[in-house]
Structure 1
């Protein structure tokens, strides 16, 4: 329906561009006829070729490699006809696919995957410091050379230096890679790709206004993004999200879309476990400039029940000494992102977790990150709606060094961000409560106070007072004697 309304289905001009709608109209309530005709249309889209009197554009990119139209009934056909006729699918927002994915999951499957939808505003809080701001700063440095070279001849040293900087920046964007190792239906990847395309477009406009000519086309696109996803359906939705997002951006910005095929192959989005291979070995992540994502929210106590005892034991054994045994599932992604940066396989990372990562066993992964890397941007306690329930989340971005813009916590510039996502005014360790230790002077003379947690604890709270009362009564008797 999107391809039809966007005018992509036909190769060249057609008397009737609404070919999919026509199939649904002519089939009426005949599900078998509709299924056969839709399968024939998908075959033409896979290979490029004729469907009746119409020449169909070559789409594939992997989407139609397997053609398996699901069973349809009359009510399905009626719903499809209404949707095709009454809605303008050019305006579809690809970020809703996350909601479609989560709502389409069987309730028994939703929890093991830790499936949840990430809203655009939350994603932007990580994409800005991880992708937009660093690359925009690189362009400002290159742009300064273009400004200096204005009015100089093409053979002059300043002009050559400016062109080298300009072309180098475009090549930098073209080769930039963003990895989401728990990509779900692809919202992080879709918005990361948009950010890269916006940066390239802005640089080209600046260069043209400064007299350095117009470049042909936008090079950034689906090839810039990489993803890992354990659910096959979600991985396919992620590819569709990126494809539609790429076409929409091109149409809105006056850029030509890809042809032959229209859908570029997205082998970079892989259907596999991001933590452990089938043979029990640790999964390798592809090299990327930036790692982003929203790994599954699954607490330590629920892992065994939701993932299975056998898988959970193998996972904890594999990462023993690296991720605490009592840590939530999300912590494994933080650990692996840290390892990728330390070994030079990534420059920066930003991940979403529940706010429990700030303490207990979970915080040990942030302690390890802060030991060799720097947490340079974070949101410690943000609102989140997950399956109708209110959740509090933390967003954490870290790298080998603090970027030029400094460290930012909850939207405010700070000197240093501590592993518990508090901050100090300077880069010193002062007021870092994660460094607090037990006082030796209190050993043997300080004890935990009473806690109102039930009858047993109530007894412990009242016992000293009962003892005092009995002792006081004994002293009265002694004095009376």
Structure 2
């Protein structure tokens, strides 16, 4: 599968897959029962497996520390779409609507060539749009975005085919929306490798649905290196184990391993599973991959628990790098929010959307939003927000409350949606959510109306009274 060609064992030609997946061949001994399991799995129909679920399953199956939650928890697709649509798909569809109007205007005047030119120009742009998830995990967000962009591309190609009488063969020539456009950064090497596979599974499924076969040029998988295994916040010259006063390496709980409580039988942290705490030398801000849109679900870690979860050395390095821009009282996710806001305000990206904890609108985290939203020269505007929404924590499957925010540069009105009801009949992870809609200027506290969060003290009241202690 790595090199392709005729297989004497199978007495058949095997297609070349490549993509970096089959470079390292390290066979392991299998029992007859295990071989039978593989045979049974190979007989199943995997053509329409949901890639996002498949990625989560694979990631947990490969990590013995995470097998206790194998198959137990997924982030519902509807929740992922709720952020991907306003961040990426709706802006692209607005551009598509404009391209259709232009094409129709030319067509009515009998200028079919001009109409096709405008449609091809949009398709060309669509095939160059780059989306970045700077904490991509096993690529759930990127896969959902890929699928929606392929749907949009299908509409574009159908209209081009109708107008050209089926003469255009852009997709056949390899000019198409592909996994190369979907970029990710992920600190877990196993998840980073799986993320790329999830994107390819999604892409190949789409090709199969359209064509009924996989008649792709070899290699089937292309090694684009678009998912990078690295830290999204800092780079550093080197790191070394942090030592305590006795010269021993400092360790913390690995944040993953669990054991059954002898008292209750429930899963609790296994404190014997330790990971080393490091000191980082000459840390600096990490450079993100260039992209037109940014979307993601960075880790949920509160400011007060960062040291326990990440270790003193890493937290000190991050806070040193972002000193003066992200307050130490802000949650971990706010570092991603700040970097993305910076990129959008300075024209390096068009729009970004993030899942954060629902404490985003509270005072300590608002201090990250306000400098971006209130900048007189380069303001940022929230174009979409849900202040309080149910979610499923990817780490332990716990039901948590999150906020969704989408932002772009300039002054613009936004859509504020509030959860009005939640129907949990289908289980905690597939909760139906009713949402209200309001449009207007969305402020840092994720509200529309009076800017309560931006209220200032009246100078005329200074010195009259004092707040008690």
TM-score, length-scaled by structure 1? 0.75
Q: Which residue of the partner structure matches residue 379 of structure 1?
A: 386
CA deviations 1:169-205 (Å, max 9, x no partner) are 0111011100011111011111111122111110121
Task: Report the Cα distance in structure 1 between the residues aligned to 2:28 and 2:403, rounded to whole angstroms.
Answer: 40
Which protein has the larger Cα radius of gyration, Structure 1 or Structure 2?
Answer: 1
Residues 27-426 of structure 1 mapped to structure 2, 5 A cutoff: 45-52=1-8, 53-70=11-28, 72-85=30-43, 87-96=44-53, 97-102=55-60, 105=63, 107=65, 118-150=75-107, 158-211=111-164, 213-216=166-169, 217=171, 219-254=176-211, 257-279=215-237, 280-371=283-374, 372-386=379-393, 387-401=396-410, 406-410=413-417, 412-424=437-449
Residues paired across the two proteins, number: 387
Q: How far off its partner does 1:72 sit?
A: 3.7
| Residue 378 of structure 1: how far off its partner (Å) | 1.0
The question of whether the paired residues in 1 share the 8 Å contact of 2:354 and 2:406 is answered with: yes
Secondary structure of the structure 2 residue equivalent to 1:361: helix
Q: CA RMSD in A?
A: 2.5
Flag the 1:72–1:135 CA change in 2: closer, same or farther, 3 A. same
Q: Closer, same or farther in 2 for the Cα pair 1:328/1:64, shift >3 Å? A: same
Q: Name the residue aligned to 1:433.
A: 452
Higher percent of residues as strand: 2
Q: Is the 8 A contact 1:98 1:185 kept in 2?
A: yes
Structure 2 Cα separation of the partners of residues 259 and 195 of structure 1: 24
Q: Deviations over 1:360-403 (max 9, x none)?
A: 32221221331221011011100012223221000110001367
On the 8 A contact 1:130/1:349 being kept in 2, the answer is: yes
User: Unmatched 5+ residue regions in structure 1?
Assistant: 1-44, 111-115, 425-430, 450-481
Instruction: State whether residues 295 and 354 of structure 2, in contact with CA within 8 Å, keep that contact through their aligned partners in structure 1.
Output: yes
Greater helix proportion:
1
The answer to which structure, 1 or 2, has the higher relative contact order (CA under 8 A, 6+ apart) is 2
Contact kept in structure 2, 1:351 and 1:396, CA below 8 Å: yes
Task: Name the CA distance, whole Å, in 2 between partners of 1:310 and 1:188.
Answer: 30
Q: Check 1:76–1:293 CA distance in 2 against 1; reply closer, same or farther (3 A cut).
A: same
**Is this contact kept in 1: 2:351–2:409, CA < 8 A?**
yes
- CA displacement, residues 123-147 of structure 1 (integer Å, 9 cap, x when unaligned): 2112211222211121221212322
Q: Which aligned segments of 4 or more residues in structure 1 are displaced greater than 4 angstroms?
A: 102-110
